[in-house]
């Protein structure tokens, strides 16, 4: 009953095999190989975005911080949810790799930003002069850290607010596959057609070993990115192994099969339970008596604590995450215990 | 006849298999797994350095820039050879990740720094006051970019100069395995016993997929490094796959077997030829008539151009690199052509 | 009736004359002159802190950002009030000059942080591992941006919370003179004796032309600061003109006379009025009908808009700031109008 | 006999008086005052550049680092002379404020770069891919650190090389006034008409207290500069005092009178002497027996040591700098001693 995190899972066999097939012969380094070209083409095709510039890196924090640095000047302000990974879990990476960009936190119940909440936060930062810094970027996480999903209309409503004040939009898609699988929207409809400028597309949590793509939909915004990746140490020499993962992950829709499985496991896990938020993707949040949590853990449950408003002396919240590797047996075992 | 670079090679089968064995079950992320603990222990044992702090990352540039940032303040000056990778090939990564450190270039014929050349360069930066910045770090590359090797006495002579003016020493060991195999010195004798404070230990070029270790020999100098790695986006979530590579690479001395093979292939390649420098590790530099180079390439040779003093209208230099994957047949074919 | 800001005032005649006296002959540059030594001694004497390290710069933003960078690592988090100047008005300077430190905003009614509010905000950033960044610094502004004053006990209560979780404390003292004059506490009691580690001591708003002192009370914390000042371009060559200002400002308690005057003018301005917060230093906040504000301005009032909760379609808030240069006639004129 | 440096001088009386006249009444802060507008206009008129964007700061290092950061991306390389102030005396400020730009040093005898030397250095940095960083900026110092002057044709020849490889040009004009006075060229001919993109125009060394102008000739290149100045802490609140200095300095050609005087004093000082380089501006370099230098100092000479090739056990070089404040009596006294 291990629901610790989706990044506790390993590499899906099909992806592993593809990496093995890539392990043949001598191949040009640093992305000048055929597999890389094919992987870029596959991302473009998946997003119906033949012009997009696509860059692979090995970690989600690397992808986010590089993506943000590309569209936010060092004196820019990035609006994100107060629970966003870039705020809570990256130790200042966006500010570091961008050379100084700062985050402005937008509150909200379930990891999602609403247009009103964004407008309220924008109002805190009037743009009178250079003292104020520059309101530059909106960053939204889909699926959110709380497992909620923005649909195309939700995204479009937010990017409209951003664009209305001259800001660009980044999407942290560490769990983008789960969002696509949950919403049924196409990758294009959920991103560039809804106004997203740059996407961090995460493979690692969803069946890969270590690969994320930074997708810059308007190639005019991609100038200099290759230098950013290099000087942050994120250009792999044996780049074919990044490419092989991404190719196999997208191939035949495997990425959505895996995400769909994870989402279903979460739905099964939560069925009939009083979850803190509706379960849409691959995360389940439960508030339980603290004694109950202790006894579940004693029985083998692995799940993260999740401090949040509503906890009290007797009750606490936990987060259960499913993945491509979660089995129906895990789910059944947990529900039996509960 | 592909001698393009050692990073054109793939993953050695033993390392590949070890990664496969690591691909089982759900495992804590971010290095809190057993394989990581074992890999750290293996590095410590290899270096006879039980106290050393060891951190894994996926790229050599990441390792170098993080290692340097750890021992060089933002206002520090790093002395390195003018052909050092950190100067020529990392697009400013050391300055970026350190928050501003600068490089001072030391000239020299074969990628190696001599104590006199270091002293001459130090003399250019008197330390009168804060205008001067701080002479902070010596970085040496072993094996050097030209395939020459520093032995323990060479290293000790340099670190003595550094220490004498209050500087610490970093070793870029992207090809450290080749240096150990070539010199016959122990890893400890070639590093901390010779005064090296921090080593970037490279597995990628020598049979791994993507793994480098930052080895900080004095644990008192390691404070905060885990934040540096995190905020530069270099902490892998599925960290076991870094650890599995490193473990298998060191296991039973495989790393030195692979490096020894590569070195032998280079020696065989160069036997009797008039190389620009003696061949000690896995690189061979030749000056040839330009027409000859063209015809070799037409016959299938892959080797990098290497601009250097001594070239003229008719003659140019090329670099041939061997690796664990170079075959005697490659060598024979090249020599037959030549 | 100009209450736009205290930095709209000029240079007090006694300070001006001292600068003139300093304008004689050739004098060593970069702070190696006698006046600088005397000014450092004067700051030490004023704070009863003979060991303190003291550095002069020309701007408040420079002083704050350099002071913070000295005690906050690049991966550190600085807790400050949501209305703090370092958050609202410095365009990201603390993050820039520190190489990446981020701000965590503490809410509060009148620009002041309470221990409970600080504890609440700290609870948002558990320190489990490197993902979390490091809770490193508390920055408090005295007098606050709203003209409220922390007394020694208030400061001590906050620094105790900070120290309890391993954080250091910075005080933004752009209006420190007003705080001392208002509280009657000694400079030492209001700073290091109450647990403050580093102070930005502002002369500019209170009668000087351009001078702030960074006062580092524990000299062991001052290592490297001179490099920080230099490489941010904040070391004046004709440093004697910074020193002359500071010396004259402190001489004979002029600084407190000027601040006391400004505080009295604010008190007179506000007497009997329904101010948003009690007037303690040199700022008065009033909520008035918007039509009234317009007519006051038509009659010559200069005062800043100050958006805040409680405003509505008909009412808005304005901020009136007094300074050493405010005259009783200005005050009388405003009150007559009102 | 004080020839220590031109920044040991004070403030010229006419500039001092202008600052005094500016010290009247309450004036909008941060450059929104009439004097600032007039000073900007004066700079534009002086350079026959009505479109130029002009920003004032208080230090030369601030001006240089901000100017360079404006035209050099964080991954850019700045080519400058090995004796340039930005290399030898700013403790890494260009890299710091730009977020990572690096310097490539061009050798040369007298502080000046020749087109051939620049081309040679450029050849060290082929632009094959992102490993190489970006050759982005040429920075030339006029008058040079050695007191030599580039004329319009010299500047044009260098900027042509730069522009030919896609680089922009910065001029460090800490002693630009001396260069104009020496060359007789117009400010426009010596800068933008010769291809200079951004100038750091120094007032401080030449009669002002603390003011430098960053002059961006093409306004399209000025976007965002105001944020850079702010977040580096270089926007003065009482900005009128920067403006007053600049206005008075330029007014009626005072700046060139002062520089012309300094140049003449240097010429007089050097007349008939065997200087290391021809004396064109306000610096004289002499190689003398070490015993002679000691006795001159014992007799009251103040002059900086200047280590350089050609020194030996018995001989050393010294630098004598004249300024607006140097008197003929100083010169006569020195020559009598000699």
Question: pLDDT tens-digit profile of C179-197?
Answer: 999 999 999 999 999 999 9
> Quick one: average pLDDT of A239-249?
98
| Residues forming a β-bridge with D285 | D319
Q: Given this model, what pLDDT does residue D338 score?
A: 85
C-alpha pair distances (Å), B191 with each of B103, B184, B220, B300: 22, 13, 17, 39
What the block records as the tokens of D159 is 């900027």
Does C126 contact A at CB distance below 8 Å?
yes
Q: Given this model, what pLDDT does residue B309 score?
A: 80
Does D74 contact A at CB distance below 8 Å?
yes
For tokens 């009736």, name the residue: C1
User: Which SS3 state, helix, strand or coil, does residue B169 take?
Assistant: strand
Share of chain B above pLDDT 70, in %: 100
What the block records as the tokens of A98 is 């961008």
What digits encode the pLDDT tens for the residues D37-67? 999 999 999 999 999 999 999 999 999 999 9
Does A219 contact D at CB distance below 8 Å?
no
- Mean of the per-residue pLDDT values for chain C? 97
Task: Kindly determine whether residue B58 and residue A5, on different chains, have CB atoms separated by under 8 Å.
Answer: no
* C311-317: long-range pairs with CB below 8 Å, 24+: C311/C287, C314/C289, C314/C290, C315/C287, C315/C288, C315/C289, C315/C290, C316/C287, C316/C288, C316/C290, C317/C276, C317/C285, C317/C286, C317/C287, C317/C288
Q: How confident is the model at residue A200 (pLDDT cuts 50, 70, 90)?
A: very high
Asked whether residue A186 carries a pLDDT value surpassing 90, the answer given is yes
| Euclidean distance between CA atoms A167 and A126, whole angstroms | 14
Classify burial at C311, counting beta carbons within 10 Å of its beta carbon; exposed 0-12, middle 13-18, buried 19 or more. Answer: middle
Task: Kindly determine whether residue A92 and residue C99, on different chains, have CB atoms separated by under 8 Å.
Answer: no
Q: Given this model, what pLDDT does residue C309 score?
A: 81
| Euclidean distance between CA atoms A333 and A299, whole angstroms | 10
Q: Which of D3, D237, D327 to mutate to test the interface with C (most CBs of C within 10 A)?
A: D237
Neighbours of A313 (CB within 10 A): 6
C-alpha pair distances (Å), D248 with each of B77, D40, D217: 40, 12, 22
Q: Given this model, what pLDDT does residue B284 score?
A: 97
User: Counting runs of H as helices and runs of E as strands, what totals does chain C give?
Assistant: 14, 10
Q: How confident is the model at residue A307 (pLDDT cuts 50, 70, 90)?
A: confident
Q: How confident is the model at residue B142 (pLDDT cuts 50, 70, 90)?
A: very high
Task: Kindly determine whether residue A238 and residue B209, on different chains, have CB atoms separated by under 8 Å.
Answer: yes
Instruction: Put the strands of the sheet holding C283-289 in their side by side order.
Output: C283-289, C315-321, C304-305
Asked whether residue C145 carries a pLDDT value surpassing 90, the answer given is yes
Of B8, B97, B241, the CB nearest to A29: B8
Classify burial at D277, counting beta carbons within 10 Å of its beta carbon; exposed 0-12, middle 13-18, buried 19 or more. Answer: middle
What digits encode the pLDDT tens for the residues D277-320? 999 999 999 999 999 999 999 999 999 999 888 889 999 999 99
Q: Given this model, what pLDDT does residue A315 score?
A: 94
Does B65 contact A at CB distance below 8 Å?
yes
Q: Given this model, what pLDDT does residue D87 score?
A: 97
| Euclidean distance between CA atoms C80 and C100, whole angstroms | 16
Instruction: Judge whether D319 and C20 are in contact, CB under 8 Å.
Output: no
User: Which SS3 state, helix, strand or coil, does residue D138 take?
Assistant: strand
Task: Kindly determine whether residue A227 and residue D30, on different chains, have CB atoms separated by under 8 Å.
Answer: no
Task: Kindly determine whether residue D92 and residue B99, on different chains, have CB atoms separated by under 8 Å.
Answer: no
Residue C5 phi, psi dihedral angles, 5° rounding:
-170, 155
Share of chain A above pLDDT 70, in %: 100
> Quick one: average pLDDT of C315-335?
96
Q: Given this model, what pLDDT does residue A94 score?
A: 97
Task: Kindly determine whether residue C231 and residue B30, on different chains, have CB atoms separated by under 8 Å.
Answer: no
Asked whether residue B32 carries a pLDDT value surpassing 90, the answer given is yes
Q: Is the dihedral of CA B289, B291, B292, B296 positive or negative?
A: positive
Q: How confident is the model at residue C133 (pLDDT cuts 50, 70, 90)?
A: very high
Does A4 contact B at CB distance below 8 Å?
yes
Q: Given this model, what pLDDT does residue B109 score?
A: 87
> Quick one: average pLDDT of A232-261?
98
For tokens 């901000």, name the residue: D66
Q: Given this model, what pLDDT does residue D236 score?
A: 98
Of A134, A224, A226, the CB nearest to D227: A134
Neighboring chain D residues of B75 at a CB cutoff of 8 Å: 91-92, 96
Q: Is the dihedral of CA C107, C109, C111, C115 positive or negative?
A: negative
Q: Given this model, what pLDDT does residue C21 score?
A: 98
What digits encode the pLDDT tens for the residues C235-287? 999 999 999 999 999 999 999 999 999 999 999 999 999 999 999 999 999 99
| Residues forming a β-bridge with C79 | C104, C138
State the pairing for strand pair A134-141/A168-173: parallel
Neighboring chain C residues of A131 at a CB cutoff of 8 Å: 88-91
User: Which SS3 state, helix, strand or coil, does residue A207 take?
Assistant: coil
- Closest approach of D164 to chain B, Cα-based (Å): 21
More confident residue, A311 or C166: C166
Q: Which of C23, C26, C93, C230 to mutate to test the interface with D (most CBs of D within 10 A)?
A: C26
Asked whether residue A308 carries a pLDDT value surpassing 90, the answer given is no
- Closest approach of A133 to chain D, Cα-based (Å): 7
| Euclidean distance between CA atoms D200 and C75, whole angstroms | 33
- Closest approach of A36 to chain C, Cα-based (Å): 30
Of B89, B91, B99, the CB nearest to D75: B91
Q: How many degrees, rounded to 5, is the angle at CA D132 between CA D131 and CA D136? A: 135
Instruction: Put the strands of the sheet holding A315-321 in their side by side order.
Output: A283-289, A315-321, A304-305
| Euclidean distance between CA atoms D171 and D50, whole angstroms | 19
- Scored b (16 or more CB within 10 A) or e, C215-251 reads bbbeeeebebbbbbbbbbbbbbbbbbbbbbbbbbbbe
Task: Kindly determine whether residue D95 and residue B91, on different chains, have CB atoms separated by under 8 Å.
Answer: no
Q: Which of B18, B20, B93, B233 to mutate to test the interface with A (most CBs of A within 10 A)?
A: B233
- Closest approach of B121 to chain C, Cα-based (Å): 21
> Quick one: average pLDDT of B194-211?
98
What digits encode the pLDDT tens for the residues B60-91? 999 999 999 999 999 999 999 999 999 999 99
* C16 Rama sector, left if φ>0, alpha if ψ -120 to 50, beta otherwise: alpha
Instruction: Judge whether D299 and D291 are in contact, CB under 8 Å.
Output: no
What's this model's pTM, rounded to 2 decimal places? 0.97
- Scored b (16 or more CB within 10 A) or e, A106-117 reads bebebbbbbeeb
What digits encode the pLDDT tens for the residues A86-101? 999 999 999 999 999 9
> Quick one: average pLDDT of C149-169?
98
What digits encode the pLDDT tens for the residues A120-141? 999 999 999 999 999 999 999 9
Instruction: Judge whether A66 and B233 are in contact, CB under 8 Å.
Output: yes
Task: Kindly determine whether residue D232 and residue C204, on different chains, have CB atoms separated by under 8 Å.
Answer: no
Q: Given this model, what pLDDT does residue B328 score?
A: 97
- Mean of the per-residue pLDDT values for chain A? 97
| Euclidean distance between CA atoms C9 and C205, whole angstroms | 8
| Euclidean distance between CA atoms B33 and A88, whole angstroms | 22
> Quick one: average pLDDT of A41-48?
98
Q: Given this model, what pLDDT does residue C338 score?
A: 85
Asked whether residue A116 carries a pLDDT value surpassing 90, the answer given is yes
Q: Which helix (H) or strand (E) holds B337?
A: helix B328-337
Residues ≥6 apart with Cβ < 8 Å to A250: A39, A42, A43, A46
Task: Kindly determine whether residue D97 and residue C238, on different chains, have CB atoms separated by under 8 Å.
Answer: no
Cis amide leading into A261 (omega within 30): no
For tokens 């960078």, name the residue: C69
| Euclidean distance between CA atoms C16 and C208, whole angstroms | 8
- Closest approach of C247 to chain B, Cα-based (Å): 24
What digits encode the pLDDT tens for the residues D211-264? 999 999 999 999 999 999 999 999 999 999 999 999 999 999 999 999 999 999
What the block records as the tokens of B205 is 């070029």
Does A244 contact B at CB distance below 8 Å?
no
Does D127 contact A at CB distance below 8 Å?
no
Task: Kindly determine whether residue B96 and residue D96, on different chains, have CB atoms separated by under 8 Å.
Answer: no
Instruction: Judge whether C2 and C302 are in contact, CB under 8 Å.
Output: yes
Q: Given this model, what pLDDT does residue D109 score?
A: 87
In sequence order, which ranges of chain C are alpha helices (DSSP H)? 13-22, 34-46, 60-71, 85-88, 93-98, 115-123, 152-164, 176-183, 187-190, 225-231, 240-250, 254-270, 290-298, 328-337
């Amino acid at each position: 009953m291990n629901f610790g995190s989706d990044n506790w899972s390993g590499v899906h066999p099909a992806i592993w095999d593809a990496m093995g097939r890539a392990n043949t012969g001598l191949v040009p380094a640093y992305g000048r190989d055929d597999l890389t070209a094919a992987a870029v083409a596959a991302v473009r095709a998946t997003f119906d975005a033949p012009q997009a510039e696509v860059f692979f890196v090995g970690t989600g924090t690397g992808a986010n911080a590089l993506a943000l640095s590309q569209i936010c000047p060092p004196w820019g302000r990035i609006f994100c949810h107060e629970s966003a990974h870039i705020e809570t879990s990256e130790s200042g990476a966006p500010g570091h790799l961008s050379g100084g960009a700062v985050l402005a936190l937008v509150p909200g119940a379930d990891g999602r930003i609403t247009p009103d909440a964004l407008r309220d936060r924008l109002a805190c930062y009037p743009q009178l002069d250079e003292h104020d810094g520059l309101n530059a970027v909106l960053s939204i996480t889909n699926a959110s850290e709380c497992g909620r999903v923005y649909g195309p209309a939700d995204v479009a409503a937010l990017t409209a607010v951003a664009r209305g004040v001259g800001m660009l939009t980044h999407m942290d898609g560490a769990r983008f596959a789960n969002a696509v699988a949950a919403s049924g929207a196409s990758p294009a409809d959920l991103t560039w057609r809804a106004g997203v400028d740059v996407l961090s597309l995460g493979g690692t949590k969803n069946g890969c070993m270590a690969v994320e793509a930074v997708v810059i939909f308007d190639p005019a915004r991609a100038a200099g990115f290759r230098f950013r990746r290099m000087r942050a140490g994120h250009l792999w020499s044996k780049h074919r192994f990044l490419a092989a993962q991404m190719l196999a992950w997208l191939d035949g829709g495997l990425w959505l099969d895996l995400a769909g499985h994870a989402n279903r496991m979460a739905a099964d896990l939560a069925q009939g339970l009083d979850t803190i938020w509706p379960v849409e993707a691959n995360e389940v949040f439960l508030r339980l008596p603290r004694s109950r949590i202790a006894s579940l853990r004693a029985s083998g449950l692995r799940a993260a604590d999740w401090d949040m408003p509503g906890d009290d002396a007797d009750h606490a919240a936990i987060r259960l995450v499913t993945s491509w590797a979660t089995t129906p047996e895990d789910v059944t075992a947990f529900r039996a215990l509960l």
